[in-house]
Amino acid sequence: NIHVSPPAAAPRPPPPEKPMSAREREAASRAQGLETPLDESNLGYRMMQNMGYGGGGLGKGEAGVAAPINPQQASVGDTQGLGRARAAQRAQTLYEDAKRLVAARQQTAFANHAHRRARDAAFSRAAG
Residue pLDDT, tens place only, 19-32: 888 888 888 888 88
Cα separation values, 121 from 102, 112, 124, Å = 28, 14, 5
Please compute the mean of the pLDDT values over residues 84-97 and round it to a whole number: 91
Question: Does residue 27 contact residue 21 with C-beta atoms inside 8 Å?
Answer: no
Alpha helices by DSSP H, listed for the chain, are 22-35, 43-50, 84-127
Could you give the CA distance from residue 91 to residue 123 in angstroms, rounded to a whole number? 48
Cα Rg of the chain, angstroms = 36
Question: Does residue 30 contact residue 24 with C-beta atoms inside 8 Å?
Answer: no
Cα separation values, 38 from 12, 42, 53, 63, Å = 45, 6, 12, 18
For residue 72, give the nearest of 126, 34, 24, 127 by alpha carbon. Answer: 34
Residue 79 clears pLDDT 70, i.e. is over it: no
pLDDT at 76: 59
Please compute the mean of the pLDDT values over residues 73-98 and round it to a whole number: 81
Residue 67 clears pLDDT 90, i.e. is over it: no
pLDDT at 85: 81
